[in-house]
């Protein structure tokens, strides 16, 4: 799991790097208003794509990981993903005009219809990639993901510079989905559209429950931006809020990568009857999540500097928003890890129980605070509801499995986070030196964990082996 997480997370790290460069380029090209319009279009489509992917992703990884005869499961998922993706694309085409009226942005309808072409392409590409991960082909999944992010930055910059403006940016996103699909298809091989034997697995039940759970998370995580716009916010305010959101993505990327591989690992342990070992892995997963606390503290302390360097002076108001949203992002990681443990244990219905209340709670909070505090109110609601959701989900895992995040790790993480967060806030930098500060403080966090005895000897040896491992000669015969 460590090896797979490292490979895929390194590939996913290309996303924040390329996203920062792309966002910095686009915000300067379009300004707050134009970037806000682009963000509304992309956020809407990402909602749809995430909802579809959530129906299949974890169920696919779980059932492919539990069986040696994976092709029937894989073929069923790929074909269904294509059908659902096409249906969703057509639905967006019909709803684009009413949505543009609701948000009071007439040009939004065209951009939504164009960006909807990305839905079936991404859904099929994700289906191929989920099968690869379920089979344990982490390197192939990482390469496909890396290809997507590198293609996206190149295509977006090229097409926007060619004079296609927002249309060019959306075409670049569509092109990156084509690249990911092609790479995933190359590594997995043919046979996914050939008729396969019927499989008797409860993928529809798991998929439906996980879909509902993920749909609640998607609505909850994207609601703040849309509620800000619906409750009287301008496109400029939406662009500033979206910029802050884009800088708080790193914990979410870790969550996506780590939870997928955690699900594979736990599912295999359950299939082999190793329930006690599964408990140990679940406890360590919560422990690793707490290591993100110093990361959030460092980013929160340097938020104004990061925003100024990446987006320019026009986006300075996004700094305080980033300080709040990065905290909410780390809390969401703990929530997702807890939901993943419940899924692997065979309780997908519980994931709905703990995500469905987030939507009305956040809605009520936004209606109360956004008219008074604007974007700051939206961010406060996001952090508060995330804290409540993560706390309840962790408590449920304890009741279910008697698994709890280690108290010692929590205290060490809070202590180190307080130190590096204060250092990040008091140590002012200018220009690109802010990134050197972030890296240095991150290294200090790791040294702090090592110095106070957080890392076990076995973990240190495993990391050393992972970093220094060389390919062994192939055995013959």
pLDDT of residue 48: 85
Asked if the structure places residue 474 within a domain, the reply is no
pLDDT of residue 473: 44
d(CA 361, CA 451): 41
Asked if the structure places residue 472 within a domain, the reply is no
- Final residue belonging to a domain, choices 143, 171, 201: 201
Residues 295 and 169 in one domain: no
Asked if the structure places residue 438 within a domain, the reply is yes
Tokens representing 342 are: 């419940």
Of the candidates 119, 211, 174, 150, the one whose C-alpha atom is nearest the C-alpha of residue 12 is: 150
Determine the angle formed by the axes of helices 318-344 and 275-290, rounding to 10 degrees.
Answer: 180
Of the candidates 473, 454, 475, the one whose C-alpha atom is nearest the C-alpha of residue 463 is: 454
Residues composing the chain: 477
- Other C-beta atoms within 10 Å of 172: how many? 21
pLDDT of residue 93: 93
Asked if the structure places residue 206 within a domain, the reply is no
Per-residue pLDDT reduced to its tens digit, 1-46: 556 556 665 666 666 677 778 877 887 788 777 887 888 888 888 8
Residues 106 and 222 in one domain: no
Per-residue pLDDT reduced to its tens digit, 210-262: 777 777 887 788 788 878 878 877 777 887 888 888 778 777 767 766 776 77
Residues 173 and 229 in one domain: no
Residues 112 and 182 in one domain: yes
Rounded alpha-carbon distances, angstroms, from residue 124 to 143, 145, 173, 257: 16, 14, 15, 18
pLDDT of residue 89: 94
- Final residue belonging to a domain, choices 141, 174, 201: 201
d(CA 357, CA 186): 41
- Other C-beta atoms within 10 Å of 199: how many? 16
Residues 285 and 217 in one domain: yes
Asked if the structure places residue 475 within a domain, the reply is no
pLDDT of residue 474: 40
445 Cβ contact partners less than 8 Å away, ≥ 6 residues apart: 294, 295, 298, 416, 417, 420
Residues 6 and 87 in one domain: yes
Residues 164 and 226 in one domain: no
- Final residue belonging to a domain, choices 169, 201, 233: 201
Residues 27 and 148 in one domain: yes
Which residue ranges of the chain lie beneath pLDDT 70? 1-16, 54, 58-59, 62, 65-70, 191-208, 253, 256-257, 260, 271, 459, 462-477
Residues 247 and 353 in one domain: yes
Using a 10 angstrom Cβ sphere, with 0-12 exposed, 13-18 middle and 19 or more buried, the burial of residue 342 is buried
Asked if the structure places residue 322 within a domain, the reply is yes
Asked if the structure places residue 224 within a domain, the reply is yes
d(CA 275, CA 347): 15
pLDDT of residue 477: 34
Tokens representing 391 are: 């706390």
Total of domains in the chain: 2
d(CA 376, CA 325): 10
Using a 10 angstrom Cβ sphere, with 0-12 exposed, 13-18 middle and 19 or more buried, the burial of residue 424 is buried
Q: Are 349 and 209 a contacting pair, CB within 8 Å?
A: yes
- Other C-beta atoms within 10 Å of 323: how many? 22
Direct distance between the N- and C-terminal alpha carbons of the chain, in angstroms, rounded to an integer: 29
pLDDT of residue 249: 75
Q: Are 180 and 127 a contacting pair, CB within 8 Å?
A: no
Identify the domain containing residue 331 by its residue range: 212-467
Residues 162 and 220 in one domain: no
Residues 137 and 240 in one domain: no
Residues 131 and 87 in one domain: yes
Asked if the structure places residue 107 within a domain, the reply is yes
pLDDT of residue 135: 74
């Amino acid at each position: 799991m460590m090896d797979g997480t490292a490979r895929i997370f390194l590939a996913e790290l290309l996303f924040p790097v390329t996203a920062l460069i792309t966002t910095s380029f686009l915000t300067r090209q379009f300004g707050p208003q134009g970037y806000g319009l682009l963000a509304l279009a992309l956020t809407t489509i990402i909602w749809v794509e995430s909802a579809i992917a959530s129906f299949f992703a974890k169920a696919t990884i779980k059932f492919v990981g539990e069986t040696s005869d994976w092709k029937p499961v894989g073929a069923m998922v790929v074909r269904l993903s294509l059908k659902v993706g096409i249906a969703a694309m057509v639905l967006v085409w019909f709803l684009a005009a009413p949505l543009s009226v609701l948000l009071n942005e007439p040009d939004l309808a065209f951009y939504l219809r164009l960006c909807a072409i990305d839905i079936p392409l991404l859904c099929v590409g994700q289906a191929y990639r989920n099968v690869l991960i379920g089979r344990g082909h982490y390197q192939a999944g990482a390469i496909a993901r890396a290809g997507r992010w590198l293609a996206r930055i190149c295509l977006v910059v090229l097409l926007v510079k060619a004079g296609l403006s927002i249309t060019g940016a959306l075409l670049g996103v569509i092109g990156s989905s084509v690249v990911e699909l092609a790479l995933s298809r190359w590594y997995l091989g043919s046979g996914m559209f050939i008729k396969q034997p019927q499989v008797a697995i409860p993928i529809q039940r798991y998929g439906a429950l996980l879909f509902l759970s993920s749909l609640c998370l998607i609505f909850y995580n994207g609601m703040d931006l849309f509620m800000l716009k619906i409750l009287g916010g301008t496109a400029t305010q939406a662009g500033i809020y979206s910029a802050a959101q884009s800088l708080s993505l790193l914990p979410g990327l870790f969550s996506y990568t780590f939870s997928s591989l955690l699900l594979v690992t736990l599912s295999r342990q359950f299939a082999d009857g190793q329930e006690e070992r599964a408990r140990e892995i679940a406890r360590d997963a919560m422990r690793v999540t707490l290591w993100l606390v110093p990361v959030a503290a460092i980013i929160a302390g340097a938020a104004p500097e990061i925003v100024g360097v990446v987006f320019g002076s026009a986006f300075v108001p996004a700094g305080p928003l980033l300080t709040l949203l990065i905290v909410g992002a780390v809390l969401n990681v703990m929530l997702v890890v807890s939901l993943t443990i419940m899924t692997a244990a065979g309780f997908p219905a519980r994931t709905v129980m703990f995500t469905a209340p987030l939507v009305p709670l956040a809605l009520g909070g936004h209606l109360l605070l956004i008219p008074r505090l604007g974007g700051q109110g939206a961010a406060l609601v996001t952090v508060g509801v995330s804290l409540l959701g993560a706390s309840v989900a962790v408590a449920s895992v304890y009741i279910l499995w008697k698994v709890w995040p280690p108290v010692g790790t929590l205290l060490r993480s809070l202590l180190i986070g307080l130190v590096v967060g204060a250092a990040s806030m008091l140590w002012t930098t200018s220009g690109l030196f802010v990134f050197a500060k972030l890296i240095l403080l991150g290294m200090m966090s790791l040294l702090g964990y090592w110095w106070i005895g957080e890392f076990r000897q076995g973990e240190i040896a495993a990391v050393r082996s992972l970093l220094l491992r060389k390919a062994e000669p192939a055995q013959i015969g």
